[in-house]
Structure formats: C-alpha cells, structure tokens
Amino acid sequence: MRCENCGRDEVNFHYRSNINGKIMEKHLCMDCAAELGLTNRGLNRPQLPLEEVFLRMFGMRPDPRLFGGFGMLLPTFFVPAVVPQPQAPLGEPVFPTDEKRPEVDDEMKKRREINILREQMYKAAAEEDYEKAAALRDCIKKLEGADTNK
C-alpha cells in the first residue's frame, strides 16, 4: 500500500482522529507523517544540556561546585538547622502572663449573647418547637433594639 500524501513510499504509519464525531483516517509513510507533525520525532532527539544553554546565553559554563547561582558551595548550603530549645521548664508558660489581656467590652458580650440565642432559635425551629423559636426571636429583637436606642 502506498502513502496517501506522496504516493511513492510504503505505508508504515496509520493515523486516525475523531473530532466532534468526524473520523479521519490517513495511511502515510514516516517522512510524510513527520512532515505533517504527526510523529514524535522532534521529541526523541536529546534536549540541550543545561550547561550548553548557559554557554550559549552567557558565553560561560557554570561552576559545577556552585549551588544555584547563590555563590555558595554545595556542602555549605546544606548545614544542619539548629533547633532552639525552650527556655521555660515544662508546665510553665513560655510567654509572660503579667500582661493584661484586653477585656471584652459590653458590645462584644451582647453580640455573643445574640449569636448564642440565634443558634438556639435555629435549633428550636429545626426541631419544630416554634413557640420556643418565637420567644427566642423576640428576645433577640429586644437585644438588637437596645443597640439602636442608644
């Protein structure tokens, strides 16, 4: 069988594609398949080594002893890390406790209380205890109304 593209060489490459349901088949020789970009011939050739890239770009090869262009020799780059030891013995806090924590103001306490009541209201509504949910709703509105009356 002869190549469908050039018609002179024997077929040794079969190409089949299915694009949007349209099936296309081609019987080609290796030269025509490579010419059409259907083979991996370009991928089979060896890539340029990194040293050759540096040579072409900068006109010099990198020193194999240097690590990553940081100017460090490889053995000095991998120095074992020092793990700090805790200063305080076990059971004692590491940070000083003499600092006063900021106190929660009344506004934050009210917000927390409203959030707790909302959670209880949602839970009561999910359990179909509508009387309790309505009472919690009224309590939330009263607390939120106290904010607007200031």
| Between 67 and 136, the higher pLDDT residue | 136
Bridge partners of residue 26, in order along the sequence: 15
Q: What is the CA 91 to chain-centroid distance, rounded?
A: 38
Report CA Rg, the chain: 38
**Placement of tokens 């050739």 in the chain:** 45
Distance (Å, rounded) from C-alpha 116 to C-alpha 58? 67
| Beta bridge partner(s), residue 17 | 24
Kindly provide the residue ranges of all beta strands, DSSP E only, lying in the chain, ordered along the sequence.
13-19, 22-28, 66-67, 72-73
The pLDDT of residue 39: 75
Sequence-distant (≥ 6) Cβ neighbours of residue 135 within 8 angstroms: none
Mean of all residue pLDDT scores within the chain: 75
Decide if 10 contacts 35 (C-beta within 8 A).
no
Q: What is the DSSP letter of 60?
A: S
- The pLDDT value recorded for residue 129 is 92
What count of Cα atoms within 13 Å lies in the side-chain half-sphere of residue 83?
Answer: 2
pLDDT bin (cut points 50, 70, 90) of residue 80 is low
CA distances (Å), origin 4, targets 16, 19, 34, 54 = 13, 20, 14, 44
pTM of structure: 0.32
What is the predicted pLDDT for the residue at 67?
A: 53
